[in-house]
Amino acid sequence: MKKDQTVGEALRQRGVSRRGFLKFCAATASMMALSPALVPKIARALENARRPSVIWLSFQECTGCLESITRSASPTIEDLIFNVISLDYQEVLQAASGTHAEEARKAAMQENHGKYLLVVDGSIPVGNPDYSTIAGISNLDMLKETAAGAAAIVSVGSCAAFGGIPHANPNPTGAVGVSEIITDKPIINVPGCPPIPAVITGVLAHYLTFGKIPELDHLGRPVAFYGQNIHDRCYRRPFYERGKFAETFDDEGARKGWCLYKLGCKGPITYNACAVTKWNDGVSFPIQSGHGCLGCSEPNFWDKGSFYRPISAGMWGTPEGLAAAAVAGAAIGVGSALAARSRQKKASEEEGA
Amino acid sequence: MNINMEAFDQFREGVSRLPEMIPPAPEMADDERVRRFKKTIIESVAPHQAMDLETCVHCGACAEACHYYVATQDAKYTPIRKLDMLRRVYRRELGPNRWLHKLLTRDITAEELEEWQELVYDSCTECGRCSLICPMGIHIQDMIIMSREALASAGLAVAEQRALAHEQGEKDTMFGMGKDMFMQGVERLRQSGLEVPVDQPDSEILVVSTVMDAALFNDAMEGTVKIMNSLGRPWTMSTCGFEGANFGYMAGYYEYRKDASMRVISAAIDLGVKTVIAPECGHAYPALRWDGAAVYGKPFPFEVLAISEFIGREMKAGNLKVKPAFSGQKVTYHDPCKLGRMGGVFDEPREALKALGVDLVEMDVNRQQSYCCGGGAGNFIINRAAPLRAKVWELKRGQFDQTGADTVVTSCDSCRINFMVGAQDTHWEKPIESLAALVGANLAE
Amino acid sequence: MSLLDFARGPALQWSLIIFVFGVVWRIVGAALLMRTRDFSKARVSSGDRVKGGVRTILTRSVPPETFEKRIRFQFITGSLWHIGYFAVVLLFVPHILFFESFLGFGWPGLPNPVILVIGAITLATLVALLVRRMIHPVLKIISTADDYISWVVATLPLITGFLAMAHLGLRYETMLAIHILSFELLLIWFPFGKLMHLFFVFPSRYNVGAIFARRGVRV
């Protein structure tokens, strides 16, 4: 692929019809809750867009986010679009390795300085930067030097967004998300463990179309995909309202598709597009498959107690603590009563009434 | 009614002239009053009272039980409010959260104590009705008794009761009437042909009387003597323990209370009796039956019965028989608060009335929920409270009228006086009879 | 740590510790004052006195007709809001799970719309009774700051619970955190105000029942 090809040229070269391309633009527009009137604008923008340089850095990650994007039974439009970005560095997909890979990265950074999109997955250990290195460079240093010339950063997955699994208690590596290190660049958080493929491509498409980042919520997540909670869009909500819950994973309620609140579903406090966009091209999502939402697009979701503990369950502390409080209360109560009794005795022995 | 109405008018006259005869209360500095009030409360509060004071949720239901509130609709008579001085002292001095209440709860002042005299004396007869309605189960009544003790120790007992308690404690007389008046009553009965044993050793039963019966309610005294004689068991009255009334108990003077109670208790012990009978004088019964052992310091070696209780018991045992002389007559029975609700005597008077053949019509509110006559706990001698008592009379009169009864029967001199005062002032004609008098006057041959 | 994590975690632990500590202190401190023995002869056996006390614990909740017709309004509204409040607290499924996580066992709940209706009636009744407290002569003269503070502290969880459940007000997880915190405020205030009647009502009713049973009077 030539680097200065437009996206439109690249697509036609691959045999994507005009109609197929417009379908994609319409689907993208609707997914981002944009007006249909904007579809021609999206189409024109994408068609004429220079294939932007994208550098994808992977730090302390499981590669699940990449798997999510690339997983497909047959080549999808998303897949094709992905291939028409100029993905100048991605450790799993690229052909090069070793010093050649690093040279390719440095060259892309130099050529597109200030214009390339930096995509990050995985958390960055700051506790001891040497916990994770690539080509002898610590994640921390690689991030800083690559972010310096980026136009914007997309933190894909909960690890890059909030620290993810490595950040979970006791966080031995001192793992953090990108936005705790880079503070002078626009960052889009696309959390999820992993995020929905269509969400990732939707965010990229938005950036390509409009040249700027979409509206973000207080956690830096695109409102278009993370603006509503799972509970509000969950198809099992009527059962929650009616008080019909699965009590165990194989009981009558579970088989009838009742609400999974009692089995620890974190839907009410999780914001993501799972209940609407779903996974595997809209086939299903965890709740539909019978497992409660883990809350994987929220910060610290590993540290909120068991996945199977309902939201309304409290973290009570130890019975010993309460027993100690009761004993202390009894002791002070006895003391108070004894002091009062001695006052009573003294008063009754006193003269003068 | 077989009583001397002249004596009744004289009695009313005497009560109205009490204030001019009472020496002024001893001077006391404000902070001394407060100190003494607090001391009495501090030494008296028991755990069940402490927990009661912690439980009040200010729901105001107690007002709806109190005959003074019901009759006047004046919120200041709310029973739990009458305990406010006591409550604040408890919270600041004894309660488990006193550290907090020292900051949040106002200390009591002498001015407030003076204001509370009216609430604790004039507008409370210690009838206990509030203790029955409180949804939290607070026994308000026994804390009113404590409040009177505390006010009395602070020199703030209401004047008339202070005077009577002092007189009875020091001289064993009430309104100037003592042993002489008692013996006058005895002599009158002897002259009419009745045997009246006095100070008889080897007796089983001591009958306690009251100068109110000797001076005013002769019918009750006569009825009692006739009943006792008909049973054929050795009984006696006593010149040492003739008075059942106890102004120290009502006014809140512990020492005077003890003096009055010990006269009766000592007489009973000296005479070696098994049974002591309290006269038809409201508080006399609980003063001896329920609260007498407290001043004695240990259980009595004798049992205590109210005369109406004794009558009912003897009737049930078949020892006492009466003629159904009131056959067909509509009669209603007023449960005195100290005998019924606070005493536990409900059925025996009714047994007696049924045996007399009456057509017993119950008031809409009776037995343990009965409305107090409005003058109990010595309140009938508080002159300034007369208008308040008049309002309660309207309430009681309404109850009597609703039954359609021709006669009201009760077993308490205090209730009788209060009803007679109300009846006289409003020209209400129906008689107010004593149970003992009726039974005694209608014994079967 | 998010507000919700704080509310569900340390705030819950500490407020519960303060609650247990304060409640036990207050009960023990009141119950152990000097007591006197009653030397008078009881009319009934001690077993019957106990029965009288226990009986009064139950019967005091339902006044006899003589009293009931005079206190009908407060009896009906008082019962209504107490029952409604406990129904919302104990029969709403997320609450049941809250208790289950502490006790180890749960129980069946009511459907959410039913809880909503009960909660609405409870809240309306509470507001009506607050107004009553402010205008009724008897209540005005005996009410203290404690009465109003306790009303606010008890009603806030109901209001915030409504808002959270209906997804009104702030974002859901924030409203939920505020709701849990308002419950913790209730726990912290509880030992110091009149809400303690939850515990004291039992010995108080028992004692008045036993004292009167001793005299042969059923109350």
Q: pLDDT of C58-70, one tens digit each? A: 999 999 999 999 9
Q: With beta carbons under 8 A apart, name residues in chain C contacting A221.
A: none
The whole-number average pLDDT for the span A184-211 is: 86
The answer to whether residue C48 neighbours chain A at the CB level (below 8 Å) is no
Q: How far apart are CA C58 and CA C56, in angstroms?
A: 5
Q: Which of A11-25, A212-226, C184-198 has the lowest mean pLDDT?
A: A11-25
Confirm or reject contact between A310 and chain C (CB < 8 A).
yes
Confidence at residue C167, expressed as pLDDT on a 0 to 100 scale: 82
**Which chain C residues have a beta carbon less than 8 Å from that of A334?**
28-29, 32
Check B39 against A333: CB less than 8 A apart: no
Selected for mutation to probe chain B from C80, C200, C205, C218 (highest B CB count within 10 Å) is C200
What's the rounded Cα separation, in Å, for the pair B362 and B403?
Answer: 7
Above 90 in pLDDT, residue A350?
Answer: no
The beta-carbon neighbor of B42 closest among A333, A337, A343 is A343
Name the β-bridge partners of A138.
A133
Q: Which candidate in B112, B132, B348 is best for mutational testing of the C interface (most C CBs within 10 A)?
A: B132
Q: Is the pLDDT of residue A158 over 50?
A: yes
B87 touches chain C (CB under 8 A): no
- Between the two ends of chain B, the Cα-to-Cα distance in Å is 22
Contact assessment for residue B422 and residue B389, using Cβ atoms and an 8 Å cutoff: yes
Model pLDDT, residue A38: 86
Asked if A262's CB is within 8 angstroms of C5's CB, the reply is: no
Q: What would the pLDDT profile of B333-369 be if each residue is shown by its tens digit?
A: 999 999 999 999 999 999 999 999 999 999 999 999 9
- The more confidently predicted of residues A110 and A204 is A110
A337–B42 CB contact, under 8 Å: no
For B271-276, what is the mean pLDDT? 96
Domain ranges of chain C: 3-32+65-214
Beta carbons of A310 and C94 less than 8 Å apart? yes
| Long-range contacts from A272-276, C-beta under 8 angstroms, 24+ separation | A272/A191, A272/A192, A272/A196, A272/A225, A272/A226, A272/A230, A272/A296, A272/A297, A273/A196, A273/A198, A273/A199, A273/A225, A273/A226, A274/A196, A274/A230, A275/A230, A275/A233, A275/A234, A275/A235, A276/A228, A276/A233
Average pLDDT over residues A282-305: 93
Whether chain A has a CB inside 8 Å of the CB on C100: the answer is yes
Q: What is the mean pLDDT of chain A?
A: 87
Asked if B96 and A337 come within 8 Å (Cβ–Cβ), the reply is yes
pLDDT recorded at residue B1 = 67
Closest partner residue to C172 (CB to CB) among A229, A321, A338 is A229
- A36/C75: higher pLDDT: C75
Same topology for domains B170-315 and B321-441, yes or no? yes
pLDDT computed for residue A256 by the predictor: 96
Q: How far away is chain A from the Cα of B35, in angstroms, using its nearest Cα?
A: 9
For chain C, give the secondary structure using H, E and C. Answer: CCHHHHHHCHHHHHHHHHHHHHHHHHHHHHHCCCCCCCCCCCCCCHHHHHHHHHHHHHHCCCCCHHHHCCCHHHHHHHHHHHHHHHHHHHHEHHHHHHHHHHHCCCCCCECHHHHHHHHHHHHHHHHHHHHHHHHCHHHHHHCCHHHHHHHHHHHHHHHHHHHHHCCCCCCHHHHHHHHHHHHHHHHHHHHHCHHHHHHHHHHHHHHHHHHHHHCCCCC
Tell whether omega for the bond before A214 is within 30 degrees of 0, i.e. cis: no
pLDDT of residue A97: 82
CB–CB contacts below 8 A, B to C: 176
- For domain B30-155, the question of CATH label 1.10.1060 is answered with yes
Q: Is the pLDDT of residue A310 over 60?
A: yes
Name which of A309, A314, A344 is nearest C12 (Cβ-Cβ): A314
pLDDT for position B382? 96
> Where is pLDDT greater, at A135 or B90?
B90
Could you tell me which residue, B329 or A315, shows the higher pLDDT?
A: B329
Q: For the domain bounded by C3-32+65-214, which CATH number is listed?
A: 1.20.950.20
Lowest mean pLDDT among B1-10, B215-224, B248-257, B336-345: B1-10
Task: At B390, list the tokens.
Answer: 């008049």
Q: Which one of C134, C141, C148, C198 makes the best mutation probe of the B interface by having the most chain B beta carbons within 10 Å?
A: C141
A318 φ/ψ sector (left φ>0, alpha ψ -120 to 50, else beta) = beta
Residues of C in contact with B340 (CB under 8 A): 217
Total-model pTM:
0.88
Q: How confident is the model at residue A73 (pLDDT cuts 50, 70, 90)?
A: very low
* Interface probe with C: pick from B97, B298, B395, most Cβ of C within 10 Å: B97
Does residue A49 have a pLDDT over 80?
A: no
Residues 6 or more apart whose Cβ sits within 8 Å of residue B339: B282, B285, B306, B308, B345, B411, B412
Taking CB atoms and an 8 Å cutoff, what residues of chain B touch A337? Answer: 96
Q: Tens digit of pLDDT for each residue in A246-288?
A: 999 999 999 999 999 999 999 999 999 999 988 888 899 999 9
In this prediction, residue A345 carries a pLDDT of 92
Fold of the domain built from segment(s) B170-315? Rossmann fold (3.40.50)
pLDDT at A1 exceeding the cut of 50:
no
For each of the domains in chain A, give its residue range(s) and CATH number, in order of start. Answer: 7-226 (3.40.50.700), 228-315 (4.10.480.10)
Residues 189-208 in C contacting B (C-alpha not used; CB under 8 Å): 192, 194, 196-197, 200-201, 203-208
Mutation pick from B41, B42, B151 vs chain A, by most beta carbons of A within 10 Å, is: B42
pLDDT of A89 higher than 90? no
Would you give per-residue pLDDT tens digits along chain C (219 residues)? 789 989 988 999 999 999 999 999 999 999 999 888 999 999 999 999 999 999 999 999 999 999 999 999 999 999 999 999 999 999 999 999 999 988 889 999 999 999 999 999 999 999 999 999 999 999 999 999 999 999 999 999 999 999 998 888 888 889 999 999 999 999 999 999 999 999 999 999 999 999 999 999 999
Residue A2 has pLDDT above 70, yes or no: no
Q: By the CB < 8 Å criterion, does B347 face chain C? A: no
Angle, helices C145-165 vs C112-135, to 10°: value is 160
The DSSP output letter for B371 is P
3-state secondary structure of B164: helix
Predicted complex ipTM: 0.94
The pLDDT-based confidence of B307 (bands split at 50, 70, 90) is very high
In 3D space, the residue among B77, B138, B127 whose CA is nearest the CA of residue B369 turns out to be B127
Extents of the domains making up chain B = 30-155, 170-315, 321-441
Topology of the domain comprising B321-441: Rossmann fold (3.40.50)
Contacts of C58 in chain B (CB under 8 A): none
Q: What is the pLDDT of residues C76-123, one digit of tens each?
A: 999 999 999 999 999 999 999 999 988 889 999 999 999 999 999 999
Q: Which chains border B (3 or more CB–CB pairs < 8 Å)? A: A, C
Q: Are B294 and C41 in contact (CB under 8 A)?
A: no
Which among C20, C112, C180 has the least Cβ separation from residue A322? C20
Neighbours of chain C (3+ CB pairs under 8 A): A, B
Whether A332 and chain C come into contact, CB under 8 Å, resolves to yes
Average pLDDT over residues B397-414: 96
In this structure, the dihedral spanned by the alpha carbons of residues B212, B216, B222 and B228, taken in order and rounded to 10 degrees, is -10
Does A78 have pLDDT greater than 70? Answer: no
Segment A59-68, tens digit of pLDDT: 999 999 888 8
Task: Give the pLDDT band of residue A72 (cuts 50, 70, 90).
Answer: very low
CA distance A277 to chain C (A): 21
Of B39, B94, B96, Cβ closest to residue A350:
B39
Q: Is B236 helix (H, G, I), strand (E, B) or coil?
A: strand
- Chain A: residue whose CA lies nearest to B98: A336
List pLDDT tens digits, range B91-101: 999 999 999 99
